[in-house]
Amino acid sequence: MGRLSGKVALVTGAASGIGAACALRFAQEGAQIAGIDVQAPLEGDWPDAAALAGDSPFVQVDIREKEAVFEAVAEIEAALGRVDVLANCAGVGGGGPVHLIPDEEWDRVVDINLKGTLFACQAVIPGMLERGGGSIVNIASVEGIEGFEGGSAYNASKGAVILLTRNMAIDYARKGIRVNAICPGFIDTPLFRSTMNLEGMGHIKERIREAHQLGRFGRPEEIANGVLFMASDEASFVTGQALPVDGGYTAGHRFGVAGMMGLE
């Protein structure tokens, strides 16, 4: 307990899923938390985190709107004094084969996943520079590390988040700002369920589950634990990294040989 005591942590995409789990985890570790999201928090998520952390401002804003993001961060800094930790969890899925994906769908996915991450970083970094340090953790994806059929816009946006993370780590390291990324596997969130529970997706969902070497999908709190490590001083010598938290999804492939060795 207390790994973020005395810190102020801002979470984007904080209303549900991984963002809400990060806010709660940060609060459990002593952080003063703030959140922004385009939607209001789901009942039982943000209020629980706020109860642990006292005054926890939540600003409803579209992460794609740069001016609005800057105003939200300014409001949060005025209320809490500063932002020491930024967790960029706002994101959406989407894609399709490139010859069919509409321009507006491509722009929606890239603008939220990539530009939204950029805008939040741009808003908090000046304050971090002024105070001599901070920690930024971006949520990328295993789909930013390797391809996934039909994932053109999503994969491109998350791959770009990883390289943006590394570039920022280089640019700001000597100013005391660490920048890392977490690459989740397939995590049981509202966004995940909205896709995987569509008609005809049952057998695909099962194959994706099997592609995780642990044989299951992840939970939001398991991603939040990875984000907490990167955000905390326990990761004081870690920057520019993209850490998969994926149940072995990117470890390799299974073809049945383990069963022959009695390991199934």
User: Can you read off the two tokens belonging to residue 128?
Assistant: 């971090």
**Known catalytic residue: 172?**
no
Distance CA 39, CA 248 (A): 32
For residues 185 and 152, is the Cβ–Cβ distance under 8 A?
no
Instruction: Tell me the backbone φ, ψ of residue 99, rounded to 5 degrees.
Output: -80, -5
Are the CB atoms for 136 and 179 separated by under 8 Å?
A: yes
106, 154, 172, 217: the catalytic one is: 154
Strand ranges (E), 46-194: 58-60, 85-88, 134-139, 177-184
The rounded radius of gyration (Å) of the Cα atoms in the chain is 18
Cross-strand pairs, 88: 12, 138
Looking at the annotation, which residues are catalytic? 154
